[in-house]
Structure 1
Amino acid sequence: MTTQTAVSPLRLAIIIGSTREGRFGPKVAHWFTGRAKLRDDLSVDVVDLADTPLPPSLTHRPGPEDASALEAVTPRLEAADAFAVVTPEYNHSYPAPLKNAIDWHFTQWQAKPVGFVAYGGMSGGLRAVEHLRPVFAEVHAVTVRDTVSFHSAWEAFGPDGNLTDPQGPDTAATVMLDQLVWWAEALRTARATHPYGT
């Protein structure tokens, strides 16, 4: 007779990449967080970079206040089994604070999957996503193929913060989350049985 051991939910960190005043990101992140929380196989942690500002760059020598900022973010990224990055497109690319957050960390990303929820104008933030893929590859993360993308995002959400036509985005979120879960389960098992880089 065999017994099955309970497997804890996968820990998904949803990272809000924009820190600009008046940003649209929290509205998109709120919707996506709601979708992720519908799943029994995920526990969700929202990491808003506006609430946890990191030191400005790796060339900057961190002081005590910078160390506390890193302490507020780093353990949460370390604990995550997967990441979903909510990003706008700025000048055909992604926000500087998001790159800064990636650069301040390394092992926290390794052998973990990353998905993208992008928003913008006509391109829907997809150029930002394409720039982020090689960046995450450099820190040994695995990006999933499917992306959630909002073209003219401000028109997709009503004044109440809800989607005016949720069917397409809800379906895209399910597909992307399914891919994240598959990779997160496989890589969590792999990291446990054979730590990455050993």
Structure 2
Amino acid sequence: MSKLKLAVVIGSTREGRFAEKPAHWIADLAKSDGAFEVEVIDLKDYPMAFYGDPAATTEQSETAARFKAKVQEFDAYIFTAAEYNHAPTAVLKNAIDHGAWVRKPVAFVGYGGVGGARAVEQLRQIAVEMEMASVKTGTHILFPEYLAIVKGEKQISDFAHLVDAAKTMLGQLAWWGKALKSARDEEANASLAKAS
């Protein structure tokens, strides 16, 4: 089987955001894993109106359509999950609402007071509703680690437990990615055979 197409989605657009650091770190780890062809998708590049907003401009609607078409290209996803007020960012929730993710696996790299765990917990529930398969292991950058990274005292890769969690997470994502891609391909082939 060819490499899985993996999108790493930067889940924050806030000024001074931290999200780029874990996004590029996990993208580099995924590239070295060998199972994935990786692309980073920055939500800053897709300024969309809130899902279903009747005041959305033509440009925002076209951007949302472009985003949906883009994410459909991939077999698996990793979202960076900042935690604000015990929840994920509104921009990430909105992007998930606009996207098309059915029968594909997702993983999370969270950060914040408790490693973004509360935001990730909510995102897992949303993923189920979107018919995504959330892998068990997440990667959680706790606040003391976050501070050390922001201050330039450490890199994410300096924390062995984060690297270990990320490798386990990527292994699970690759397994589910292959299994679900195989099932989608089988279903598509059956539909073609039925139509001919």
Superposition TM-score, scaled by structure 2 size: 0.88
Structure 2 Cα separation of the partners of residues 168 and 189 of structure 1 = 32
* Distance (Å, rounded) in 1 between the aligned partners of 2:154 and 2:13: 19
How many Å separate the matches in 1 of 2:23 and 2:117?
A: 16
Question: Could you state the TM-score of these two structures normalised by the residue count of structure 1?
Answer: 0.87
Task: Please report how far the alpha carbon of residue 126 of structure 1 lies from its aligned counterpart in structure 2 after TM superposition.
Answer: 0.2
Conserved? CA contact 1:11–1:44, under 8 Å: yes
Structure 2 residue matching 1:192: 3-state secondary structure = helix
The partner residue of 1:83 within 58, 77, 83 is 77
CA distance in 2, matches of 1:11, 1:62: 31
Pair 1:17-2:8 in alignment: no
How many residues align structurally?
187
Q: What do residues 112-154 of structure 1 show as CA deviations (whole Å, max 9, x unaligned)?
A: 0010100002x11000011111111011111011000000142
**5+ residue gaps in structure 1?**
1-6
Secondary structure class of the residue paired with 1:83:
strand
How many angstroms apart in 1 are the aligned matches of 2:102 and 2:55? 24
CA displacement, residues 4-63 of structure 1 (integer Å, 9 cap, x when unaligned):
xxx221011111111111111111112111111112210111111122211223233543
Which SS does the other structure have where 1:149 is aligned? strand
Specify the SS of the correspondent of 2:156.
coil
In structure 1, the partner of 2:2 is: 8
- 2-structure distance, mates of 1:15, 1:163: 18
Moved more, 186-195 or 172-181: 186-195
Code of the residue aligned with 1:96 in structure 2: it is A
CA 1:72–1:89: 2 relative to 1, 3 Å: same
Name 1:116's counterpart in structure 2. Answer: 108
Alignment-derived partner of residue 194 in structure 2: none
Q: Distance in 2 between matches of 1:20 and 1:72?
A: 22
Structure 2: stretches of 5+ with no match in the other structure: 192-196
C-alpha separation in 1, matches of 2:78 and 2:153: 24
Q: Which amino acid aligns with 1:9?
A: K
Query: Which residue of 169, 183, 193 maps to 1:190?
Result: 183
Whether the aligned pair in 1 keeps the contact of 2:22 and 2:156 (CA below 8 Å) is: no
Q: Give secondary structure in 2 for the equivalent of 1:86.
A: strand
- Residues 16 and 161 of structure 1: is their aligned pair in 2 closer, same or farther, counting only changes over 3 Å? farther
Aligned to 1:4: none
> Structure 1 residues 166 and 109 mapped into 2: Cα distance closer, same or farther (>3 Å)?
same
